[in-house]
Structure 1
Amino acid sequence: MSLSPSAGARQPATTAKAAAVADIVFDSSAILALLHREAGADVVLRHAGNAMVSAVNLAEVGARLADHGIPEPEIRKIVGAVGLEIVTFDESQAYASASLQSRTRGKGLSLGDRACLALALARAVPALTADRIWAELDIGGDIRLIRGI
């Protein structure tokens, strides 16, 4: 298991810089694809440093890494190297995520999925994911897959 952006690739911006220029939202599946160097990681890497992530998706990524025995300080370093703006999951995001439940019913979306989509819709930016089922969603937002359908 590889847990860093691709060696030799451009280094993403710091979190402070990412906050100023974030123009896409990463789903946890996109971040994990990058960290594990899975297919589509190159697509994610192109946006690293210009991306934001919901704190809910950050928790999902952290949980997956913790499942592999990685301690929190190391998780912070690994995720921090991606250069993401971390967006607080606040009351507004909670209601927006909840409202997506009825519009995405039957697609198997998690709270994290809906949090990502709600953030992308609120900021009027694309959502980047590895979850192919998102291509079937009709929520009025720009959803981009890191791998072909």
Structure 2
Amino acid sequence: MSKIVLDASALLALLRQEKGSEPVAEQITGAVLCSVNYAEVVSKLSEGGMPFSAIRQLSTLLPFKIIDFNEKMAFLAGELRTQTRSLGLSLGDRACLATGKILGLPIMTADRAWLKVEIEVEIRCIR
């Protein structure tokens, strides 16, 4: 059973061994990552020069699950736009928030701006 939703920023912190990666490492087993956020991770790693074959292999080795972004999540992410626009949250950010809310799971992120979002889901900032 899943226990936490990872934002792309949290997973990237772990993969890059950045500040705040320790709590992500502790929670990664059984964590979930929305497919939208997985696309963000793939994009960022490839922009950093990692070959797609290595990214694919890496994601199969890590003990988290990628879940599909569905219609209910998409609608909630759209609803969150008005509330989060001033905070600069992206579609990927809102997709993660929607995933956590709908699954009833806490979210782990490296983005402190999320702490200002009024949403009925626990947000754990790693930095």
Map Cα deviations across residues 87-121 of structure 1 (whole Å, 9 max, x no partner).
Answer: 11122211111011112120000011000000000
How many angstroms apart in 1 are the aligned matches of 2:8 and 2:53?
A: 19
- Could you tell me the TM-score, scaled by structure 1's length? 0.81
1:66 aligns with 2:46: yes
More helix by share: 2
Deviation at residue 80 of structure 1 after TM alignment: 2.5
Map Cα deviations across residues 2-22 of structure 1 (whole Å, 9 max, x no partner).
Answer: xxxxxxxxxxxxxxxxxxx21
Segments of 5+ residues of structure 2 without an aligned counterpart are none
CA radius of gyration, larger in: 1
1:56 aligns with 2:44: no
Q: Which runs of 4+ in 1 moved over 6 A?
A: none
1:23 aligns with 2:31: no
RMSD: 1.0
Deviation at residue 134 of structure 1 after TM alignment: 0.9
- Could you tell me the TM-score, scaled by structure 2's length? 0.95
Segments of 5+ residues of structure 1 without an aligned counterpart are 1-20
Q: How many residues align?
A: 127
**Counterpart for residue 78 of structure 2:** 98
| SS of match in other structure, 2:32 | strand
Deviation at residue 140 of structure 1 after TM alignment: 1.8
